[in-house]
Every structure is written in C-alpha cells, then in structure tokens.
Amino acid sequence: MAMKGEKIDVKDPKFWEEYSKSLQKGPVNKKCLSPETWDRVAKSYDDLDSCPDYMHQVNSVVQILKEKVLTPEATVLDVACGTGTYAIRLAPYCRKVVALDISGGMLARLRQKAEAAGIENIEIVQQDWHHFEPDERFDLVFVSMTPLARSTENLRRMLMLSRRYFGLVSWAGIRENLLLKRLFEQIMARPFKQKGMDIVLPFNYLYSLGYAPEMHFFRGCWERRRKVDEQVENMIWRLELYRELSDDEKELVRRQVASLEDRGGMVSVKTRVRTCFMLVDKEAENFSCS
C-alpha cells in the first residue's frame, strides 16, 4: 500500500497488487487454502442446492455462460471447483470441463454426482492450483467463491490460461450470518468482521489492466437446514478458521445451535448475501472506429 504522503493511483495495477498482499495474511487465508479444511465439510457442502435464492444465482450464471460463451467445442477450466456445482451444469454445453480442486473430499462428491448424472466429459484433477501446469489453454476459465481470488497473481494466471473468457463469482459487500456473528463475539471476545474474498479487488484489478468486466449482481437469503449435529459441526468449522476451540467453547456452540431446533429436529441457519458474477471477454476491446 502507499506510504503516508505518497500519491495513490487506483488505476495502476501495482496499487491492487500491493493491496492483495494484505488480504493474504493471517491464519484464515492459510486454512482456506488447505485441503483438510474443505475435506471436513465436503459431505454437507451441497446443502445449499435446496435454497431457492442460491440456485437462482447458480442457474443465472450458467444461463449467461450458455448464451455468451459456451459452444459444443468449448473447453472450460473450473478452478477450485469444489463438489462441481458449476462443472456439472456447464459440462452438457461444452466439449470438456477440467475440474480442479485441492480437496479429495470435494472431488469425491463431484465424481458421485457426475456418475449419477451420466456425465462423462468432466476431467477431474486433484492438485494445488499453485502447482497446476496444464498443457493447454481454455476458452473459459471459471472460478467461484474461492480465496484464490484474493491474489492478483492468481487472477493474472487465470487470464493467461484463458483463450478468451474469464468468469468469477464472488461476494459483493453483504454477507451477514447473525448466529455466526453472535457465537464469534461470545467466544473470541471481539467484534466479528467477515473477512474473505470480495468483488472489489478482482474488478478493480482487471479494470486497471484495461478490461471492462460485465457485472451481474444477486441478492437474497441463503438458508441451510440441517440436523442439529450437522449444524453444530459446521458452526465449529467456521469458527475454527480463526483458531481451535476448546471443549467448553464447542459445548457453548452446541447449546446455542440446539436451542434453535424445530419440531422436525432440524436447525435452519440463514445468511443475508449479495454476490456478483463478473465476466471478462479479452477480445471486447478489440474494436475500431474506422
């Protein structure tokens, strides 16, 4: 970041490169790049598939890509694909999807889903993105809700691997889970500030490189309805991104989550969100006035 008295030029890519370094510090970012972190929640990761607001976002993004990007001969790289929420839905409209993730647990779920749907054109690759060296470029490089988007170096490399299109889904300023906030402030004894990826860095960095990303915003309430034990484990997982919890602290989480149990033995946890899908066409600026 700029030193005191130094002029700041937000249109200079170097400003955003320095800013991105500040977002990659701390234990949360380190844990979010660990395969063990995501293996731990892989089995319940697709719970949001039953949430209308979430599925509206997913289906809208897929529809935009179908209309503007995908062809029967197109190839797609889905970086940090998770359980394949997008890979499964994009595969029927292109020649091949390379689904890359560091988590074996996430990819096991993707394999199950692909087999159940009879989809055979997804190439699954378990590897750290930072060591991924494909021998091809892709018509579309796609990434959704990943800490990798905090790094301008990663964004540059994603652009490099794309022949033409780059798509990114990220948070956009609103991410409010009142239960998580309350538990965090009780256990950590400090105000809760939701850290993580946001569209601010990717958009401004790409804009500073000369691109004009197309933006689509979504807002709504993401609801995860789970059994008590599953909801407790998820809350503990979220909190332990910051630090390990003691047995007493875990019991506090259990009591508070269990107090929300409904007559069906389930607990519903809601998150108020705003997200954004950003699409870059690398050829969009190749126009002439003659």
Query: Which residues lie closer than 8 Å to 249 by C-beta, 6 or more apart?
Result: 187, 239
Determine, yes or no, domain membership for 236.
Answer: no
Residue 288: the pLDDT is 83
Q: Give the bridge partners for 272, in sequence order.
A: 176, 221
Determine, yes or no, domain membership for 208.
Answer: yes
Q: Can you give the length of the chain in residues?
A: 290
Q: Decide: 224 and 269 in contact? Cβ < 8 Å.
A: yes
Determine, yes or no, domain membership for 82.
Answer: yes
Q: Residue type for 247, please?
A: D
Residue 22: the pLDDT is 86
Determine, yes or no, domain membership for 68.
Answer: yes
CATH of the domain at 130: 3.40.50.150
Query: Which residue is it, tokens 């009879």?
Result: 118
Determine, yes or no, domain membership for 157.
Answer: yes
The domain containing residue 33 runs over which residues? Answer: 13-175+196-223+273-281
Residue 4: the pLDDT is 57
What pTM does this model have?
0.93
d(CA 78, CA 262): 38
Query: Would residue 281 be called left, alpha or beta, if left means φ above 0 and alpha means ψ between -120 and 50 degrees?
Result: beta
Determine, yes or no, domain membership for 100.
Answer: yes
Closest CA to 75 of 56, 100, 58: 100
Residue 26: the pLDDT is 75
Residue 195: the pLDDT is 66
Instruction: Write 255-259 long-range contacts (CB < 8 A, 24+).
Output: 256/179, 256/182, 256/183, 257/179, 257/228, 257/231, 257/232, 258/228, 258/232
CB atoms within 10 A of CB 215: 12
Determine, yes or no, domain membership for 170.
Answer: yes
The secondary structure of 108-149 as a DSSP string is HHHHHHHHHHT---EEEEE--GGG---SS-EEEEEEES-GGG
Determine, yes or no, domain membership for 231.
Answer: no
Domain count, the chain: 1
- 3-class DSSP state of 193: coil
The structure tokens listed for 209 are 């490189």
C-alpha distance from residue 113 to each of 85, 110, 119, 165 (Å): 9, 5, 9, 26
According to DSSP, the β-strands at 162-176 and 266-281 are antiparallel
Along the 290 residues of the chain, how does pLDDT read in single tens digits?
554 556 788 999 999 999 999 888 777 778 888 999 999 999 999 999 999 999 999 999 999 999 999 999 999 999 999 999 999 999 999 999 999 999 999 999 999 999 999 999 999 999 999 999 999 999 999 999 999 999 999 999 999 999 999 999 999 999 999 999 999 999 999 999 876 679 999 999 999 999 999 999 999 999 999 999 999 999 999 999 999 999 999 999 999 999 999 999 999 999 999 999 999 999 998 888 87
Q: Decide: 269 and 195 in contact? Cβ < 8 Å.
A: no
Q: What is the DSSP letter of 177?
A: -
First to last CA, the chain: 41
